[in-house]
Protein backbone atom coordinates (compact mmCIF):
# COMPACT_ATOMS: atom_id res chain seq x y z
CA UNK A 1 0.00 0.00 0.00
CA UNK A 2 1.42 3.38 -0.96
CA UNK A 3 1.85 6.29 1.41
CA UNK A 4 -0.95 8.16 -0.39
CA UNK A 5 -3.34 5.21 0.03
CA UNK A 6 -2.56 5.01 3.74
CA UNK A 7 -3.06 8.75 4.18
CA UNK A 8 -6.35 8.54 2.28
CA UNK A 9 -7.61 5.80 4.62
CA UNK A 10 -6.57 7.77 7.70
CA UNK A 11 -8.36 10.86 6.36
CA UNK A 12 -11.49 8.85 5.51
CA UNK A 13 -11.69 7.27 8.96
CA UNK A 14 -11.09 10.66 10.60
CA UNK A 15 -13.83 12.22 8.45
CA UNK A 16 -16.33 9.53 9.46
CA UNK A 17 -15.48 9.83 13.16
CA UNK A 18 -15.62 13.64 13.10
CA UNK A 19 -18.96 13.57 11.25
CA UNK A 20 -20.34 11.29 13.96
CA UNK A 21 -18.98 13.62 16.66
CA UNK A 22 -20.36 16.66 14.86
CA UNK A 23 -23.82 15.14 14.57
CA UNK A 24 -23.78 14.42 18.30
CA UNK A 25 -22.39 17.83 19.36
CA UNK A 26 -19.11 16.29 20.51
CA UNK A 27 -16.58 17.69 18.05
CA UNK A 28 -14.63 20.43 19.81
CA UNK A 29 -13.21 23.54 18.17
CA UNK A 30 -9.86 24.57 19.67
CA UNK A 31 -9.15 28.21 18.79
CA UNK A 32 -5.58 29.42 18.55
CA UNK A 33 -3.56 32.00 16.64
CA UNK A 34 -3.11 30.59 13.14
CA UNK A 35 -0.36 31.86 10.85
CA UNK A 36 -2.04 31.85 7.44
CA UNK A 37 1.16 31.53 5.38
CA UNK A 38 2.34 28.49 7.37
CA UNK A 39 -1.07 26.85 7.10
CA UNK A 40 -1.17 27.36 3.32
CA UNK A 41 2.42 26.14 2.92
CA UNK A 42 1.40 22.93 4.68
CA UNK A 43 -1.69 22.46 2.49
CA UNK A 44 0.26 23.15 -0.71
CA UNK A 45 3.02 20.76 0.30
CA UNK A 46 0.50 17.99 1.02
CA UNK A 47 -1.29 18.41 -2.32
CA UNK A 48 1.81 18.83 -4.48
CA UNK A 49 1.87 15.22 -5.70
CA UNK A 50 -1.82 15.28 -6.62
CA UNK A 51 -1.27 18.45 -8.65
CA UNK A 52 1.68 16.90 -10.46
CA UNK A 53 -0.26 13.67 -11.09
CA UNK A 54 -3.13 15.60 -12.69
CA UNK A 55 -0.75 17.91 -14.55
CA UNK A 56 -2.30 20.92 -12.84
CA UNK A 57 -0.81 24.16 -11.62
CA UNK A 58 -1.76 26.03 -8.45
CA UNK A 59 -1.88 29.82 -8.73
CA UNK A 60 -2.07 31.75 -5.46
CA UNK A 61 -3.63 35.22 -5.46
CA UNK A 62 -3.01 36.89 -2.12
CA UNK A 63 -4.92 40.15 -1.80
CA UNK A 64 -4.66 40.37 1.97
CA UNK A 65 -2.26 41.84 4.42
CA UNK A 66 -3.53 39.63 7.25
CA UNK A 67 -0.88 37.23 8.53
CA UNK A 68 -2.86 35.50 11.29
CA UNK A 69 -6.34 34.87 12.65
CA UNK A 70 -8.06 33.12 15.56
CA UNK A 71 -9.33 29.70 14.44
CA UNK A 72 -8.97 25.98 14.94
CA UNK A 73 -5.91 25.36 12.77
CA UNK A 74 -6.57 21.65 12.17
CA UNK A 75 -10.23 22.17 11.25
CA UNK A 76 -9.61 25.13 8.94
CA UNK A 77 -6.81 23.17 7.28
CA UNK A 78 -9.29 20.31 6.80
CA UNK A 79 -11.70 22.64 4.94
CA UNK A 80 -8.98 24.07 2.69
CA UNK A 81 -7.61 20.57 1.99
CA UNK A 82 -11.08 19.33 1.14
CA UNK A 83 -11.72 22.19 -1.28
CA UNK A 84 -8.29 21.92 -2.88
CA UNK A 85 -8.22 18.13 -3.25
CA UNK A 86 -11.75 18.22 -4.73
CA UNK A 87 -10.60 20.90 -7.18
CA UNK A 88 -7.66 18.71 -8.17
CA UNK A 89 -9.59 15.43 -8.42
CA UNK A 90 -12.57 16.88 -10.28
CA UNK A 91 -10.65 19.53 -12.22
CA UNK A 92 -9.57 19.20 -15.79
CA UNK A 93 -6.07 17.90 -16.46
CA UNK A 94 -3.56 20.50 -17.65
CA UNK A 95 -5.53 23.26 -15.94
CA UNK A 96 -4.78 25.95 -13.39
CA UNK A 97 -6.44 26.00 -9.99
CA UNK A 98 -6.60 29.40 -8.33
CA UNK A 99 -6.45 29.84 -4.57
CA UNK A 100 -7.55 33.34 -3.57
CA UNK A 101 -7.01 35.02 -0.21
CA UNK A 102 -9.05 38.15 0.40
CA UNK A 103 -9.74 40.18 3.52
CA UNK A 104 -11.13 43.31 4.99
CA UNK A 105 -10.52 44.34 8.57
CA UNK A 106 -13.08 41.85 9.85
CA UNK A 107 -12.93 38.62 7.83
CA UNK A 108 -10.61 36.36 5.85
CA UNK A 109 -12.00 34.83 2.67
CA UNK A 110 -10.46 31.85 0.93
CA UNK A 111 -11.73 30.83 -2.50
CA UNK A 112 -10.64 27.97 -4.70
CA UNK A 113 -11.53 28.18 -8.39
CA UNK A 114 -11.10 25.40 -10.90
CA UNK A 115 -12.37 24.29 -14.27
CA UNK A 116 -14.33 21.05 -14.25
CA UNK A 117 -16.22 19.08 -16.83
CA UNK A 118 -17.72 16.90 -14.08
CA UNK A 119 -19.65 19.40 -11.96
CA UNK A 120 -23.04 20.70 -12.93
CA UNK A 121 -24.66 23.86 -11.60
CA UNK A 122 -27.69 22.01 -10.18
CA UNK A 123 -25.39 20.05 -7.84
CA UNK A 124 -24.47 23.29 -6.06
CA UNK A 125 -27.92 23.73 -4.49
CA UNK A 126 -27.41 20.98 -1.90
CA UNK A 127 -23.68 20.40 -2.12
CA UNK A 128 -23.09 20.87 1.63
CA UNK A 129 -25.79 18.36 2.67
CA UNK A 130 -24.80 15.12 4.38
CA UNK A 131 -24.18 12.11 2.11
CA UNK A 132 -24.84 14.08 -1.05
CA UNK A 133 -22.60 12.64 -3.72
CA UNK A 134 -22.20 14.87 -6.72
CA UNK A 135 -22.51 13.76 -10.30
CA UNK A 136 -18.74 14.19 -10.36
CA UNK A 137 -18.42 11.59 -7.59
CA UNK A 138 -19.28 8.89 -10.10
CA UNK A 139 -15.74 9.43 -11.36
CA UNK A 140 -14.34 9.08 -7.84
CA UNK A 141 -15.72 5.86 -6.38
CA UNK A 142 -14.32 6.66 -2.91
CA UNK A 143 -16.48 9.75 -2.33
CA UNK A 144 -18.59 9.57 0.84
CA UNK A 145 -20.52 12.84 0.59
CA UNK A 146 -19.15 13.84 4.00
CA UNK A 147 -16.26 16.19 3.22
CA UNK A 148 -18.28 19.23 2.20
CA UNK A 149 -20.90 18.53 4.89
CA UNK A 150 -18.21 18.51 7.58
CA UNK A 151 -16.60 21.60 6.03
CA UNK A 152 -19.88 23.47 6.44
CA UNK A 153 -20.13 22.42 10.09
CA UNK A 154 -16.58 23.63 10.71
CA UNK A 155 -17.14 27.01 9.05
CA UNK A 156 -20.47 27.43 10.87
CA UNK A 157 -18.66 26.79 14.18
CA UNK A 158 -16.23 29.58 13.24
CA UNK A 159 -19.20 31.96 12.71
CA UNK A 160 -18.41 32.07 9.02
CA UNK A 161 -20.06 31.54 5.66
CA UNK A 162 -19.39 28.77 3.15
CA UNK A 163 -20.49 28.76 -0.47
CA UNK A 164 -20.17 27.18 -3.90
CA UNK A 165 -20.80 29.04 -7.14
CA UNK A 166 -20.79 28.28 -10.83
CA UNK A 167 -18.80 30.78 -12.86
CA UNK A 168 -18.43 31.16 -16.63
CA UNK A 169 -16.59 28.68 -18.87
CA UNK A 170 -17.20 25.60 -16.66
CA UNK A 171 -15.34 27.18 -13.74
CA UNK A 172 -16.48 26.65 -10.17
CA UNK A 173 -15.69 28.51 -6.97
CA UNK A 174 -15.73 26.94 -3.52
CA UNK A 175 -15.00 29.26 -0.66
CA UNK A 176 -15.53 30.43 2.86
CA UNK A 177 -15.20 33.55 4.92
CA UNK A 178 -14.50 33.60 8.66
CA UNK A 179 -13.98 36.42 11.14
CA UNK A 180 -10.34 37.25 11.84
CA UNK A 181 -10.98 37.82 15.54
CA UNK A 182 -13.57 35.33 16.54
CA UNK A 183 -15.60 34.08 19.46
CA UNK A 184 -15.84 30.53 18.21
CA UNK A 185 -18.72 28.21 18.96
CA UNK A 186 -17.06 25.54 21.10
CA UNK A 187 -18.91 22.55 19.65
CA UNK A 188 -19.71 21.71 16.07
CA UNK A 189 -23.35 20.72 16.15
pLDDT of residue 85: 93
pLDDT of residue 123: 72
pLDDT of residue 24: 61
pLDDT tens-digit map of 117-152: 777 677 777 888 776 655 544 445 455 577 898 999
Higher-confidence residue of 137 and 61: namely 61
Domain, as residue range, for 107: 3-188
Q: Is the pLDDT of residue 26 over 80?
A: no
Rounded to 10°, the helix 147-157/3-23 angle is 50
Cα four-point dihedral sign 174, 8, 72, 133: positive
Q: Is the pLDDT of residue 25 over 90?
A: no
Mean model confidence pLDDT for the chain = 82
Give the Cα separation of 97 and 147 in Å (integer).
19
Q: What's the pLDDT band for 1 if we cut at 50, 70, 90? A: very low
Could you tell me if 112 and 98 are in contact, meaning their C-beta atoms sit under 8 angstroms apart? yes
Higher-confidence residue of 16 and 62: namely 62
pLDDT tens-digit map of 68-109: 999 999 999 999 999 999 999 999 999 999 999 999 989 999
| Total domain count, the chain | 1
CATH of the domain at 165: 3.30.565.10
pLDDT tens-digit map of 148-165: 989 999 999 999 999 999
pLDDT of residue 8: 54
Residue 119 burial class via C-beta count within 10 angstroms: exposed 0-12, middle 13-18, buried 19 and up: buried
Amino acid sequence: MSELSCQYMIDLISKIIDTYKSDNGELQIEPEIVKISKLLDSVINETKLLLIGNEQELKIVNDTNIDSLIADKLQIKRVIMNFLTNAILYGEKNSTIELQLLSDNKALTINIINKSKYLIEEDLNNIFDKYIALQASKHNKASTGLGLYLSKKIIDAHNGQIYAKALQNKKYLFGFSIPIKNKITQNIE
